[in-house]
A and B are shown apart, each in its own frame.
Chain A
Amino acid sequence: MSGNVLFDAPGPRTIARHRLYSVLTWLALLAVIGFFVWRMQVTGQLEYDKWEVFLTPAYVEVILQGLLDTLQMAFGAIIFAVVFGLVFGVGKMSDHGWVRWPCWVIVEFFRAVPVLMLMIFLFYLLAVGDAPLSPMWCVIIALTLYNGSVLAEVFRAGVNAVPRGQVEAAYALGMRKTQVMVQIQLPQAVKMMLPALISQCVVALKDTSLGSYIIAPGLTFVYKQITLDFKNQVPTALVITAIYILVNLVLTAIATALQRRLVGEKNPIDLTSVGNMDGGRAV
């Protein structure tokens, strides 16, 4: 519902009142920004040597390397998660109870457990001492398990969103169950799911930040290194956060464009009950 249906067209007095509200909002916003800048000035956060790091080529390279590590972990996790989600999503829809129930348990379990806890557990299990994997892989595995479980539900919702008549028609043509799934349901489901998949990339990208707790590389790890050397917590936090927001906005823009192209204006799949904080909506 667009906001203006709720209101009558404003008359002159209401327009004047809205103008007053606008001015007050601007003043409040400027006050907040001004206060922040003033505090930074007073506490010496605006001094050049606190920001010099971000103009030093060697450190810019470190930051870019951190960004690259973050992206690598996020995309690695998403690619594995797609496979995981496909297997367990289809598994959850199986007609055989002995396939359906284990898949259900695994998906529900990894959706309910915090990613950070999973990471810590995997870190102690697989990376401490002379264990085989690097912390980076622990991050990828933890994110694969979590995002894969969410994607399993996305796949299931996508397959269920394919009109029932198509499945019946396919059966009527004499197709087998696997054929119906692979040739009729999945291709249509995948098209509807693409935007949700990219929103899930945003979730995965944000969650890679937790990796710094188990000393995996990435942007938050770079934050730690820089602040240890230069004690410039405020500027570094601002810069690192800005990079995260920028990358996520680019991803969201791609998701929106894809949605326009593939699905049209209508909402692809309602994923609000899947437990994905972004609701799977490419807004």
Chain B
Amino acid sequence: MEAVFSNFDEYLKAFGVTLALFVVSGLASLVLGLILASLRVGPVSVMRRAAGLYVTIFRNTPLLMIFVFMAAAMPKLGYNFKWVENIEIAGWSVSAFFVRSTIALTLYTSAFVCEAFRSGVNSVDVGQAEAARAVGLTFFQSMRYVVLPQALRAVVPPLTSVQVALIKNTSVAAAFGMAEATATMRSLTNDYGSQRPEIFLLFAIGYIIIVEAVALSSYALERKWKVA
């Protein structure tokens, strides 16, 4: 126990990095996933196929290999993202590791976000869209007033499980030089051999708190949006 408590600021900092990775790549993957999903349900077949190809490729690739591409292969092609370290905003500058990690996490997660959105649109009954068109609504009106409000509700549970998986996936960044929770746990278990189970348990609890916070807020949202 003291191994963690005597290094408690390190513990907090580690989960800070984990949270930062989660928030940045979570938001980015929502945006990219929404774009992909709208391409996938849109009328142009080439766009549908292109987005489908993206989803197939990234869904079946291990996250670790995407990290390998960002961290090992991209520098070979001349992109090491070092330039971001020159940008400084109010005394803070982002490390190249962080940028690479968030890009990898975003590329991977957005494929799943896209599928979640698509399944949401698919869950709306066909009759609803037909009725909307029958009363003369245009495409955008029927999307705005009939389809999307219902799809949004249906999409909350699958989107939550994607975001929860993203929290856990930030741990892969440990293998590529980010000092986030898993990497910090590794260095602590290395240093304090006799306290391994306690260290593991305390770090596990950190993850569980984040996961539960996301899951509970999604339940709240689900309940609020529920139609009687």
Contact = CB atoms under 8 A, between A and B. Distances in A.
A61 interface: no
A6 B41 contact: yes
A116 B170 CA distance: 10
Interface string A6-41: 111010000000100110011001000000100110
Contact of A124 (B50, B168, B190): B190
Nearest to A44: B76
A25 B35 CA distance: 14
A22 B44 contact: yes
Nearest to A35: B77
B129 interface: yes
Contacts of B92: none
Contacts of B216: none
Interface stretch (B2-10, B63-71, B82-90, B94-102): B63-71
Which bucket holds chain B's interface residue count? Answer: 35 or more
Interface in B10-60: 41-48, 50, 56-57, 59-60
B48 A3 contact: yes
A1 B60 contact: no
Interface in B197-222: 197, 200, 203-204, 207-208, 211-212
B165 A6 contact: no
Nearest to A232: B76
A120 B180 CA distance: 14
Contacts of B121: 1
A48 B59 CA distance: 30
A227 B64 CA distance: 15
A6 B142 contact: yes
Contacts of B124: 1
Nearest to B168: A114
Contact of B204 (A43, A109, A213, A277): A109
A245 B165 contact: no
B175 A245 contact: no
B65 A227 contact: no
- Give chain A's interface secondary structure class: helix
Contacts of A227: 72
Contacts of A112: 164, 168, 204, 207-208, 211-212
B65 A237 contact: yes
Contact of A120 (B62, B72, B139, B185): B185
Contacts of A272: 116, 119, 157-158, 161
Nearest to B44: A21
B153 interface: no
B42 A3 contact: yes
Contacts of A40: 77
Nearest to A23: B46
B78 interface: yes
A26 B47 CA distance: 9
8 contacts: A1-B147, A25-B44, A113-B207, A117-B203, A117-B204, A124-B189, A206-B62, A275-B164
Interface of B: 41-48, 50, 56-57, 59-65, 68-69, 72-73, 76-78, 112, 115-116, 119, 121-122, 124-126, 129-130, 133, 139, 142-143, 147, 157-158, 160-162, 164-165, 168-172, 174-175, 181-182, 185-186, 189-190, 193, 196-197, 200, 203-204, 207-208, 211-212
Given A124-B190, A220-B62, A276-B161, 16 more contacts: A5-B133, A18-B43, A21-B46, A25-B50, A43-B77, A109-B208, A112-B212, A115-B171, A116-B175, A117-B171, A213-B174, A233-B76, A234-B73, A237-B72, A252-B60, A279-B112
Closest 5 CB pairs of A and B: A114-B171, A209-B62, A248-B60, A272-B158, A114-B168
